[in-house]
Amino acid sequence: MSPESRNRRQFSRRSLLRAGSVAAGFAAFGRSGLLIGTAHAAETIINPFTGYSISDGWWDHVNRGSLGGIDYVMGVGTPLPACASGQLRIDWNNGTGGYTATIVMANGMRSQYLHLSGFNGGERYVQQGEIVGYSGGAAGAPGSGSSTGPHLHWHLVTAGGTRVNPLDYVGAGSGGTGGGLPLEDRRLGHLGTAGGWAHMLSNLVLPGNTTYGAFSPGPGQSPRAMANIDGVMMLVYAGSNGWTTMSSGLAMDPGAPLNVLRTPANASAQIFTLEDGRLWHTFDGNGWKKFPSSVTVSGNCTFSMTANGTDLHGLFNDNGRLFHVWADGSGWHKGDTQVDLQPGSDLVAVIQPDGSLQGLSLEFSRVHHIFGANGRWNRIPTTASLPTGTPIAGRAAYGWPQLVANHNGAITHVWGTSSGWMCVPTGQTTNPGRRLSLVPDVASASLVGLTL
């Protein structure tokens, strides 16, 4: 029996707690991305094409060498509403793109419709929903460019010039999926550093309303995840037939942020969520259980949990104030550190090899180092700069905690050295806005994790 099928059986018996894969002294510190739907600029973008089927998705484009786009099945001459208000630019000769309608939004973001058969009026400021042109794409027709059949190609370009997936930017309620991530891009990816950085996309596609956190089943093994998939807590793991999911049967608030970790005494994942203004603790102890803690939080709280032995610790940014949250034999506690943070900014908590609780926060476009010394808490800006809102994940390390960040699609490694902080792209890319979750195993030299 393979290790995975053995674990499948144990999980179905609700007894991962007793699984034999516990390594003495092994600790895994997990965290989840907390940035669903908040990673993008405030410009309102709708998807006017939700009624059309997609013939060629974002990753279909990228995987064949395109810069990316979404192709909608659409008959020639279909009116095309503006996805956003902005300045309309008309291009009669956009190379392989053919006739192209570009809308330049106030924040510099551009929307482009390609392969059109014609335009509706001239260059002007257009309101969202106004018809800007007509679809085309028939092979050889004027304006079709390289298109070989009727369709609409749509993509966005950031102010910085990076082409991005429009479905990552459309708001909920406009036909997008939950937080706006399209199904095709909800693909689980495996992040690793064995023999250089790797980012491999799996075949596992998760629904729109998924939050997750990675954890390690043991040193050297593929990370797993616990995921809140449309309100049901699921185990996500690699089996002999690829990545798959298994339900725990436990209900959660759909969309509730997760932090996942594993303590040395417990082979199973421990899951922390913020629901109904409270921290909840979920774990497998002869069946999955979910308990409210005594810790209450505001509606504007980001958090990161970690463990020191069997004691649980967290750093909470509760509406701009840093709190230390911990559980010990006497129950749950929430202590005010007297340190102010930028409200809503994300942070990472880890137990360093020396046993101290430390953290990194991303606020005011800069990574800050959080630590206690001489009886007080400190939050010191580092020289590493990243835009506030960048998806981050972290782990403990010798010296200072480390981060991996999705910096506008470039998977970037952030670490401190005695001569300053480094912020270096790994050469691996992902969709901007995709969340990361690391398996921060101090004992292991490699950084591994999952992307979603």
- Could you tell me the smallest distance in angstroms from the CB atom of residue 153 to Zn ion? 3
**What is the C-alpha separation between 389 and 384, in angstroms, rounded?**
14
**Closer of 74 and 269 to Zn ion (Cβ):** 74
**Closer of 150 and 391 to Zn ion (Cβ):** 150
> Which stretch in 69-77, 78-86, 190-198, 430-438 sits in contact with Zn ion by CB under 5 A?
69-77
- Could you tell me the smallest distance in angstroms from the CB atom of residue 208 to Zn ion? 22
- Could you tell me the smallest distance in angstroms from the CB atom of residue 98 to Zn ion? 11
Instruction: State CA 150 to chain mean position distance.
Output: 34
**What is the C-alpha separation between 275 and 242, in angstroms, rounded?**
32
The SS3 assignment for 63 reads: helix
**x/- map, 104-143, Zn ion, by CB under 5 A:** ----------------------------------------
**What is the C-alpha separation between 36 and 176, in angstroms, rounded?**
13
Out of 4, 71, 168, 318, name the contact with Zn ion by CB under 5 A: 71
The SS3 assignment for 98 reads: coil
**Closer of 102 and 268 to Zn ion (Cβ):** 102
Residues 6+ positions from 51 with CB-CB distance below 8 Å = 175
Helix (H) or strand (E) holding 60: helix 58-63
**What is the C-alpha separation between 34 and 38, in angstroms, rounded?**
9
Beta strands 420-429 and 410-417, pairing class? antiparallel
- Could you tell me the smallest distance in angstroms from the CB atom of residue 152 to Zn ion? 8
- Could you tell me the smallest distance in angstroms from the CB atom of residue 114 to Zn ion? 7
φ and ψ at 3, to 5 degrees?
-55, -40
Residue nearest to Zn ion (CB): 153
- Could you tell me the smallest distance in angstroms from the CB atom of residue 430 to Zn ion? 20
Residues 352/309, Cβ–Cβ less than 8 Å: no
The SS3 assignment for 263 reads: coil
**Closer of 69 and 150 to Zn ion (Cβ):** 69
Out of 33, 48, 68, 69, name the contact with Zn ion by CB under 5 A: 69
Residues 330/340, Cβ–Cβ less than 8 Å: no
- Could you tell me the smallest distance in angstroms from the CB atom of residue 352 to Zn ion? 47
> Taking CB under 5 A as the criterion, which residues in 138-197 touch Zn ion?
153
> Which stretch in 63-71, 328-336, 367-375, 410-418 sits in contact with Zn ion by CB under 5 A?
63-71
Instruction: State CA 122 to chain mean position distance.
Output: 39
**x/- map, 40-59, Zn ion, by CB under 5 A:** --------------------
Q: Give the footprint of Zn ion on this chain (CB under 5 A).
A: 69, 71, 153
